[in-house]
Amino acid sequence: MIKIEAATKTYALGRGVEIAATRDVDLEVARGEFLVITGRSGAGKTTLLNLISGLTRPTSGRVLWNGMDLWALDDAHRSALRNRQLGFVFQFPSLLPSFTVLENVVLPTAFGSNRRDPNVPGQAAALLQRVGMAGRRNAYPRQLSAGQQQRVVIARALINCPEVLLADEPTGNLDAETEREIIELFGELQATGELTALMVTHAPHLVPQASRVVEMAGGVLRAGG
Amino acid sequence: MRALAILIVILAILIGVLPQFFNCQYDGKGLVLADGRQVPMKCYWTARASLAVAILLLALGLLLAFSQQQETRRALAFLGAIAGILVILLPTWLIGVCQHPGASCNLVMKPALILMGILVVVASVAGLVLSSRRPEPTA
Amino acid sequence: MSPLRLVWKNIAGSAFRSWAVFLCALVVGGLLFSTVLLVRGAEDSLRLVQQRLGADVVVVPEGTGDRVETALLMGQPTKVWMPRQNLDRIGGVAGVAIASPQLYLASLANAPCCTAEMFVMAFDPQTDFTVTPWLNRHLGHNLGLAEAIGGSDVFVPYGEDKIRIYGSEIDLVGSLERTGTGLDTALFLTFDTAYAVADGSYTKAVRPLEIPPDSISAVLVQVEPNVDPRVVALQIAHDVPGVTAIPGSGLFQAFHTQAGLLSRIMAALLGTVSLLSLLLVGLTFSMAVNERRQEIGVLRALGATRRAVLHSLLVEALMLALGGGATGVLLAALVLYLFRNLIVASLMMPFRIPSVPSLLALAAGGLAVALADVALAVLLPALRASNLDPATAMRE
């Protein structure tokens, strides 16, 4: 489903100095897989996710979605792909502070063709129910704990019924108990088999449902971890 | 809401103070009666009445600044709008000002009271709208 | 969730930024509207007075042109005299179709409280072409003895039914439209009424009205068709000693110049304010874009295109500019309308609110400049935001 071919991403730091966040990475992700990516800080894990999702362009190499080169598309098509086929869970608090919980969940629909779909509020409510946040739909992010916010982010990631869920250290800022709860939620969602999940985490042992674990070290991808 | 209340307080002070310095009595002009006595003209009484409304508006503005209850704010904002309308009506219909177009009451007091009355009404209506909104859910 | 709701939420989410843009647009829109309105109002007023006088040439005693213009525009009465026989001489100049004499008098104002003087203009009903057309249109007849019409600000005091000048009672039978000039406080009556009042003043008034015998103050001239008024004016100045002949187009030149100067000063002020506003809005928006980098990155990750981000920021700024500009224009219109008499009195310049279509055009202009100012200010920051690499933007 997703294929990365010899993807290298370098950043220019100025004065002719460049740093390679990833080097010649090859990766294939099958439909329905739960892939965990581990590695130390600065190993290139987040960059790998950004390459897969088209949030950053590879300096060399290709990123293919169902055989289609992501960077052969224009910005509008690439954005549409992210909107309909990808769901994101970030490590940092990514809810918009001026929007309520419900408004944050339906936010991705503002950029898609389903913006006027009357079923969207109902779908959002069902998702909030599923992540255990139904009673806080009118609350603002500042009134929620970090764990609660992350649950809402997961609901937002699923509003457009994506094929792929990308999670970058989704439990990085959470306490151990909340971390376990969030990982369990991921496992439940992925277990339906309709969702392909890629998760970056520093603690792969917390993800027993992972079908495969790979490790990033110095920008290079290694199997196992 | 507090900003609107402060605006109303400032307007109240202007409504009370400004007419005292722009009326014919202050300019030394009065109505001379047949027996030679000089009595104040309409603009003087308009200035006095404006002072009264201004005191009311000042109290209202201060209450609005410190009140927390939505219903209280709504009531105060409504009263503020009424007071603003009174400020407009004082120099135009309720009492009036002098006929002479060059008199300071006509040149300054009347247009200033109308302008400030309009601003009070607008601020009060804005306060009414804000205090009618659904409050944020508590955590 | 519509894109417009997204914009509205962003506006509500940052009070400081939103108020900064709103207030800048308010100031720019209001200032443009009021400066153009002031200058336009002054020009309109001058034009109306020139039309009202209807004269192709105005002949006054030599050296009194400025005083007469000030009397007509600012309502400050003046007494100027020249021999009545000048009327015949002027009438005999080639190219003169009608020569109508006028008397300029001053009267104590008609309210017992007030001691300001009122400008009184006496005209000859047989030859007059200034006031008579209005009389025919609105009253159907000319003024009789002890009758007068007033400018828009002349009034009969409460409790009385006539105006009193120099002890004589005069019937105010009509009011002219507002011109925004001294003509609004002037009283117009016939020569017969003026002489009757003067005669009666010796016994009825505190001080008498003195009209020098066989004297007039001015002669208003209409020239024959296809004749250049400037040529006639020159001829009059040549043929009639001791007079100044002012062609209609040259009337109120000093005030035209003053209006022009005011226009230039206002334009400079407007230019400065617009530039400062542009810088402030640009800076505020740049800061906002910087603060919202991560948020913009998230929106891109959720599927917003570069175009959608640019569009959202521009619409946000333009909505604030529209609100601010409209408020500024409305406030300016309200203030200028309410304080129009004070403007005339303090600027010593005629001023009149233009017609509604003109006002709407000026309002649209003010709004357009406010919108353009803000759009220009936010364009660069908005373009930068939309071109941010989402991955880089989300990195703290």
In this prediction, residue B139 carries a pLDDT of: 45
Averaged over A185-208, what is the pLDDT? 77
Domain residue limits, chain C: 3-46+256-395, 63-241
Which residue of chain A has the CA closest to C387? A75
Mean pLDDT of C48-74: 85
Are C305 and A79 an interchain contact pair (Cβ–Cβ within 8 Å)? yes
Cβ-based neighbour number of residue C4 at 10 Å: 12
Centroid of chain to Cα A132: 20
Predicted confidence (pLDDT) at residue C116 exceeds the cutoff of 60: no
User: Measured between CB atoms, which of C109, C184, C335 is closest to B115?
Assistant: C335
List, for residues A38-68, the tens digit of each pLDDT value. Answer: 888 888 888 898 899 888 889 989 999 888 8
Q: What's the CA gap between C5 and C312, in Å, rounded?
A: 10
Does position C349 have pLDDT exceeding 80, yes or no?
no
The H or E element spanning position B113 is helix B110-131
| pLDDT tens for each residue of C106-115 | 886 554 555 4
Is pLDDT above 50 for B123? yes
Report pLDDT for C261.
Answer: 85
Please tell me which of the candidates A50, A92, A156 has its beta carbon nearest to residue C294: A92
C74 has a pLDDT exceeding 80:
no
Mean pLDDT score of chain A: 85
By DSSP bridging, strand A196-200 and strand A164-168 are parallel
DSSP assignment of C121-160, as one string? EEE-TTT--SSHHHHHHHTSS---TTEEEE-TT--PPTT-
The string of DSSP letters for C239-282 reads HSTTEEEEEGGGTTHHHHHHHHHHHHHHHHHHHHHHHHHHHHHH
Which residue numbers of C have CB closer than 8 Å to B's CBs? 109, 111-114, 116, 153, 155, 157-158, 184-185, 334-335, 338-339, 341-342, 345
Q: What is the mean pLDDT of residues C81-110?
A: 88
Query: Could you tell me the pLDDT band of residue C103, with boundaries at 50, 70 and 90?
Result: very high
Neighbours of chain B (3+ CB pairs under 8 A): A, C
Q: Which chain A residue is nearest to residue B136, measuring alpha carbons? A: A139
Inform me whether the pLDDT recorded for B88 exceeds 90: yes
Report the residue of chain B nearest C342, measured CA to CA: B107
pLDDT at B135: 60
Inform me whether the C-beta atom of residue C295 falls under 8 Å from chain A C-beta atoms. Answer: yes
Mind listing the pLDDT tens digit for each residue in C205-242? 878 888 998 999 999 999 999 899 999 999 999 999 99
Three-state DSSP at A38 gives strand
Is residue A163 within 8 A of residue A196, CB to CB? The reply is yes
CB A4 within 8 A of CB A51: yes
Window B:120-139, CB contacts with A under 8 Å: 136-139
Q: Does residue C123 have a pLDDT over 90?
A: yes
Per-residue model confidence (pLDDT) at position A213: 87
Decide if B79 touches C, using CB distance below 8 A. Answer: no
3-state helix, strand, coil in chain B (%, to 5): 70, 5, 25
CB neighbours of residue A36 within 10 Å: 23
Which own/partner pairs from C268-273 qualify as long-range (CB within 8 Å, at least 24 positions apart)? C269/C31, C269/C35, C270/C28, C270/C31, C270/C32, C270/C35, C273/C27, C273/C28, C273/C31
C327 compared with C113, residue with greater pLDDT = C327
List all residues 6 or more positions away from A186 whose beta carbon is below 8 Å from its beta carbon.
A154, A165, A167, A170, A197, A199, A207, A209
Across residues B65-82, what is the average pLDDT? 93
For residue B43, the distance in angstroms to the closest alpha carbon of chain C comes to 12
Of C109, C184, C335, the CB nearest to B100: C109
Which of A58-72, A109-123, B48-62, C57-71 is predicted with the least confidence, judged by mean pLDDT? A109-123
Cα B82 to Cα B43, B120, B124, B127, C52, distances in angstroms: 21, 9, 9, 13, 44
Q: Rg of chain A's alpha carbons, rounded to an integer?
A: 17
pLDDT attached to residue C109: 53
- The pLDDT value given to residue A40: 82
Q: Residues C149-193: pLDDT tens digits?
A: 998 888 887 778 888 888 888 999 988 888 888 788 889 999 999
Query: What residues contact residue A184 under an 8 Å CB cut-off, 6+ apart?
Result: none
Instruction: Provide the pLDDT for residue A225.
Output: 42
- DSSP label at residue C75: -
Q: Where is pLDDT greater, at C379 or A209? A: C379
A165: left (phi over 0), alpha (psi -120 to 50) or beta: beta
Complex ipTM value: 0.89
Q: Is the pLDDT of residue A224 over 60?
A: no
pLDDT of residue B26: 84
pLDDT at residue B137, rounded to an integer: 52
Decide if C5 and A92 are in contact by the 8 Å CB cutoff: no
The answer, as to whether pTM is greater than 0.90, is no
